[in-house]
Amino acid sequence: MNLDQLIHTFIAESRDLLEAMEHALLHVAEEGDEAVNAVFRAAHTIKGSAGMFGLDAVVDFTHVAESVLDKVRAGTVPVTEDLVALLLTCCDHIGALVDAVEAGTLAGDDALTAQGAPLCERLQAYLGTPAAPAPVAKTTAAATAPATAAHWHISLRFGPDVLRNGMDPLSFLRYLGQIGQITDIALLDDALPALEGFDAESCYLGFEIGFSTAADKAAIDEVFDFVRDDCQIRILAPRTKVSEYVQLIDDMPEQRSLLGEMLVRSGSITARELEQALAVQSAGGAQAAPLGEILVGQGLVRPPVVEAALSKQKQANEPRQENRSVRVDADKLDRLINLVGELIIAGAGANLIARRTQIPELLECTSTLSGLVEEVRDSALQLRMVKIGATFNRFQRVVHDVSREIGKDIRLDVSGEDAELDKTVVEKIGDPLTHLVRNAMDHGIEPADVRLARGKPAQGVVSLNAYHESGSIVIEVSDDGGGLKRERILAKAIERGLVEPGRVLSDKEIFGLIFEPGFSTAEQVTNLSGRGVGMDVVKRNIVALRGSVEIASTEGQGTTVTVRLPLTLAIINGFQVGVGKSVFVIPMDMVEECVEFRDDPLHDYIDLRGQAMPFVRLRERFAVDGAPARRQSIVVVRYGSRKAGLVVDHLLGEFQTVIKPLGKVFSGVRFLSGSSILGNGDVALILDMAALLSVEDERSAAAA
């Protein structure tokens, strides 16, 4: 591990902490002290780690925020809405600083420093506020944080691998210097082996440090977080039992006199105390154990102090929860998925040859292999699956900020956080969702007086929900606001020339109009329909992910936008069909059944068990040459609430399909979402169900 990797760890951890901080800030109202503590801890840890790397800009800024938080924790500064908003902004600023660290532009970024300055001032205002007049508050403050510097003794023995792990013991000393003052230090080099046994890359150093600081034990202890596993650390609290010092001296026979002198010199212990303790101990000989009692008897021990120190020590030493997850570079994962894709294609080739040659052993081998490849594929894809909860939780912040901004009281309800989807999808869905949520708050939810007049609670609710449905993930953004005004949208659409006057449209079609580009650019759209800012962009983004979006609304009761996305963008189970010589792939999850097709030139729908179902002739749609096969089939597909048939020549069966994007040349092609390479090297085209079926919808609607 080198320093670069450590910095990456720092960046990743800081981001996690900032997220936790934000989350806690947003829940301060409900969770109270617990949340304040969480925020404090996060800020504190970021400061500590930043100090390790000498990122002064981060340390300085976070320090101010942390000081305010400390006051909040002590109860001297009340948690107000304004403070929470300010701290959220600070959170963002620290995030920006961390981004700068990642970009390597932290040093000398004056713009960032300038951004931080007003925040610092506002934070300082909280610090400057005289403590609450009530004397009670003062005492609590004094009890939680000892204001005056106290004298600690720190004993360090670095393990041999510290240097190799990319850490320099000196940086810990430097960092100590930032949270207090090193009053005395002795470097121990007794562990240095003879020249022959000396490994220049091992660490043999130890330090005895007299340290004066106002920080508490946990803070000192945290300095050594990064080396805890590689290092013996002992931190002796101020006014520790003399016996503990003696114990320390006893444990380090090599440095006995040095240490004793140092403890005396730094005032940790007086010379007399030390002498007495040592004398008593040697007089006691083998009965060294009751030393503590002797000391108590001599009045050298201050029991309450000892207990306090011990309990703090215990806290600090609580075993840290083992981290069971591994951080993996996203590029490595992508490479793995790509390789699995190639494996599937190669496997399909092998299968094909096996079937052609009809060698039983080979057939058996390839079939076992296929099964394994499928499992590998599933687990590889599973690696990239993340829960949507983290994305949803980010919206707590959006809702909090926007509701302050527009002066409405709005709450966010989140459900289905455990639904998983591909990381790449998650990354890309953030923006469209933000847009939908903002829209719901801005235009969906009515002002409080209107809500009360309509008999609704004053607080508006925006909800996010997610669930899986036939190979897709469905995300719903709903609000309990005024809903869409059907007639007005229709009128506007006719005025804009999007719809011919006199046409009869279903509700769904009318609401769908707000996703039309021509519609959303209309100026008065916001006050007219209450919706529509940039909805076309939202739709475009979602369609780009092979997804679709629908809207349902009841006037006066609210609106629900339903976004449907594929679970993964890389590999799917595909159902292959042949038309002429071309092969098309239909995502398996959407295939309902296959039925025989009887051509009837009079109808463009079939009777499926008493229900009319529209169908598409793929041969016509894609202008495939040649006469249709004698026995054609219909593949019944379902996408969302729609159902339709696809007329094909042959049914080829289920195959794993590695999705390759279509080249730029084909970017204008509708109805296709990608391509795939077959076992025999041919290219198959993957059908874009959302596009195919929506055109079918329009066509049948036009006919009706």
Partner 1 sequence: MTIGEIGPAGQGDAVALRIEGEMTIYRAAELKDVLAGAVAQAVAETRALALDLSDVTEFDSAGVQLLLLARREAQRQGQVLRLEACSPAVREVFHLTGLTARFAAEDA
- Asked whether position 205 contacts partner 1 by CB under 8 A, the answer is yes
Is the Cβ–Cβ distance between 49 and 12 less than 8 Å? no
Per-residue tokens: 321: 């929860």
Among 189, 331, 523, 625, binds partner 1 (CB under 8 A): 189
Nearer to partner 1, 173 or 571 (CB): 173
- Asked whether position 612 contacts partner 1 by CB under 8 A, the answer is no
Question: Which parts of 136-175 interact with partner 1 (CB under 8 A)?
Answer: 158, 162-164, 168-170, 173-174
Dihedral-angle region of residue 626 (phi above 0 means left; psi in -120 to 50 means alpha; beta otherwise): left
Nearest to 217 by CA among 167, 267, 172, 151: 151
Stretch that binds partner 1, among 188-196, 409-417, 422-430, 538-546 (CB under 8 A): 188-196
Is the Cβ–Cβ distance between 499 and 486 less than 8 Å? no
C-alpha–C-alpha distance, residues 98 and 91, integer Å: 11
Nearer to partner 1, 267 or 284 (CB): 267
- Asked whether position 257 contacts partner 1 by CB under 8 A, the answer is no
C-alpha–C-alpha distance, residues 598 and 581, integer Å: 21
Residue 427 to residues 52, 98, 380, 384, 470: CA-CA distances in angstroms?
A: 31, 19, 18, 12, 22
Stretch that binds partner 1, among 35-43, 46-54, 178-186, 471-479 (CB under 8 A): 178-186
- Asked whether position 701 contacts partner 1 by CB under 8 A, the answer is no
- Asked whether position 195 contacts partner 1 by CB under 8 A, the answer is yes
Residues in the chain: 704
Nearer to partner 1, 158 or 639 (CB): 158
Stretch that binds partner 1, among 67-75, 127-135, 181-189, 342-350 (CB under 8 A): 181-189
C-alpha–C-alpha distance, residues 487 and 471, integer Å: 35
393 Cβ contact partners less than 8 Å away, ≥ 6 residues apart: 19, 23, 414, 417
Tokens 């609710």, located at residue: 461
Among 131, 149, 186, 296, binds partner 1 (CB under 8 A): 186
Identify residue 197 by its one-letter amino acid code: G
Binding mask 207-246 for partner 1 (x = CB under 8 A): x---------------------------------------
Pinpoint the alpha helices (H) of 460-580. Answer: 486-496, 507-512, 517-520, 525-529, 535-544
Using a 10 angstrom Cβ sphere, with 0-12 exposed, 13-18 middle and 19 or more buried, the burial of residue 197 is exposed
Dihedral-angle region of residue 370 (phi above 0 means left; psi in -120 to 50 means alpha; beta otherwise): alpha
Residue 537 to residues 499, 565, 692: CA-CA distances in angstroms?
A: 20, 16, 20
- Asked whether position 185 contacts partner 1 by CB under 8 A, the answer is yes
Per-residue tokens: 623: 């202008």
C-alpha–C-alpha distance, residues 661 and 242, integer Å: 73
Stretch that binds partner 1, among 73-81, 204-212, 428-436, 519-527 (CB under 8 A): 204-212
- Asked whether position 4 contacts partner 1 by CB under 8 A, the answer is no
101-140: buried (b, 16+ CB within 10 Å) or exposed (e) per residue? bbeeebeebeebeebbeebbebbeebeeeeeeeeeebeee
Give the dihedral sign, CA 181/187/191/197: positive
Nearer to partner 1, 201 or 487 (CB): 201
- Please give the full DSSP string across 343-411, using - where no structure is assigned: HHHHHHHHHHHHHHHT-HHHHHHHHHHHHHHHHHHHHHHHHTEEETHHHHHHHHHHHHHHHHHHT--EE
What is the smallest separation between the CB atom of 268 and partner 1, expressed in angstroms? 16
- Asked whether position 203 contacts partner 1 by CB under 8 A, the answer is yes
Binding mask 582-611 for partner 1 (x = CB under 8 A): ------------------------------
What is the smallest separation between the CB atom of 59 and partner 1, expressed in angstroms? 18
Binding residues for partner 1, rule CB under 8 A, total 25
Among 200, 283, 326, 665, binds partner 1 (CB under 8 A): 200
Stretch that binds partner 1, among 131-139, 184-192, 362-370, 600-608 (CB under 8 A): 184-192
Stretch that binds partner 1, among 201-209, 512-520, 548-556, 667-675 (CB under 8 A): 201-209
Among 125, 198, 293, 372, binds partner 1 (CB under 8 A): 198
- Asked whether position 192 contacts partner 1 by CB under 8 A, the answer is yes
What is the smallest separation between the CB atom of 256 and partner 1, expressed in angstroms? 18
C-alpha–C-alpha distance, residues 365 and 367, integer Å: 5
Nearer to partner 1, 257 or 611 (CB): 257
Nearer to partner 1, 163 or 644 (CB): 163
Nearer to partner 1, 162 or 437 (CB): 162
Stretch that binds partner 1, among 37-45, 187-195, 479-487, 565-573 (CB under 8 A): 187-195
Binding mask 298-337 for partner 1 (x = CB under 8 A): ----------------------------------------
Per-residue tokens: 500: 């011919």
What is the smallest separation between the CB atom of 211 and partner 1, expressed in angstroms? 13
Tell me which residues touch partner 1 (CB under 8 A).
158, 162-164, 168-170, 173-174, 177, 182, 184-187, 189, 192, 195, 198, 200-201, 203-205, 207
